[in-house]
Structure 1
Amino acid sequence: IDGEQINLSIWDTAGQEEYDRLRTLSYPGTDVFMFCFSVVKPDSFDNLRDKWLPEIRQHCPEAILMLVGCKNDLRFTLFNKFQNQERKFVTSDEGEYMAAVLGAHGYFEVPSFHHSKVAPIFHEGAREALRRRR
């Protein structure tokens, strides 16, 4: 990143209650947490505030938080498909607001199948971690 070599380890942790004690074993030494949720599943968004933030703040209070809204391309597709039904999606404004409320480094969105949009988010997290270490 910016001419500096880094070691990046990525952990995709399970949110099920039966993994609560095991999951926290992976937290020590973590610089950045990327909270990923589906913009077409508001429950996953609500879990940021209700489940994940309290857990992370307890175990890694100084860690950088980043919010990533996944599947943003489906927001429009599913809206058109279900426009006659009551269906809730997470908007970009809601994601940005949640990031501000949580004190996150930023809010980012990525589509379902364009993986090229993912790498810049990891680069941003690594840059912020390096900046804070200096």
Structure 2
Amino acid sequence: MLPEQSYIPTVFENYVTNVNFDGKLVELALWDTAGQEEYDRLRPLSYPESDVILVVFSVDFPTSLQNVQDKWWPEVAHFCEGVPTILVATKIDLRRDEGTKRMLSAQGQVPVASEQGIAVAREIGAKYIECSAKLGQNVQEVFALALKESMKGKWGKMVKQRRCVVT
């Protein structure tokens, strides 16, 4: 039996690496910001100079998609006007997981459908992609899309600077 996994909330974590993109070496800096309310005043300090924003929700937690509309998008729109945004659905493998479906059903909910995520992405003007880290499905594509979008300026032209900051 595997040990029970516990959730340890993120405060601010970052990861920097060099990646090859379109034949060029690009520095990719990922910032994972805290979602807890007590960090609401600190989080905006991580937004300046961001080249792309990934707003992430989990398909097994429908409230997380609602939070995109109620909390995350208004904050991103305020502090990151004009920055390309990608809405990312995670844990898509759990859409078919019977345990997840039972748990959500007991709460009067169902896993978030692709169509719901697409609708929210359209509403907020974001690109949309889904992934499953557990299955390794589309994870690389999330970062490839982030790199591609980060290289676009506000008007959709490729910028000369080869740096990508993902918040």
Q: Same fold (TM over 0.5)?
A: yes
**Deviation readout 1:49-108 (Å, 9 max, x if unpaired):** 10011111111101111011111111111378529754322100011111100000x211
Is 2:102 the partner of 1:75? no
Is 2:110 the partner of 1:88? yes
2:144 equivalent in structure 1: 123
CA distance, structure 1, for counterparts of residue 58 and residue 47 of structure 2 = 23
Using the TM superposition, give the Cα deviation of residue 116 of structure 1 relative to its aligned residue in structure 2, in angstroms: 5.7
Gaps of 5+ in 2: 1-20, 160-167
Query: What is the TM-score normalised by the length of structure 2?
Result: 0.73
Gaps of 5+ in 1: none
CA distance, structure 2, for counterparts of residue 84 and residue 20 of structure 1 = 31
Change beyond 3 A, Cα 1:7–1:94: same
Change beyond 3 A, Cα 1:81–1:126: closer
Structure with the higher helix share, 1 or 2: 1
Query: What is the TM-score normalised by the length of structure 1?
Result: 0.89
**Aligned residue type for 1:92:** S
CA distance, structure 1, for counterparts of residue 101 and residue 69 of structure 2 = 29
1:98 paired residue among 120, 123, 128: 120
Change beyond 3 A, Cα 1:77–1:13: same
1:1-134 to 2 correspondences below 5 Å: 1-78=21-98, 82=102, 85=106, 86-104=108-126, 106-115=127-136, 117-132=138-153, 133-134=158-159
Change beyond 3 A, Cα 1:84–1:101: closer
Q: Which has the larger radius of gyration?
A: 2
CA distance, structure 2, for counterparts of residue 28 and residue 107 of structure 1 = 23
Q: How many residues align?
A: 133
Structure with the higher strand share, 1 or 2: 2
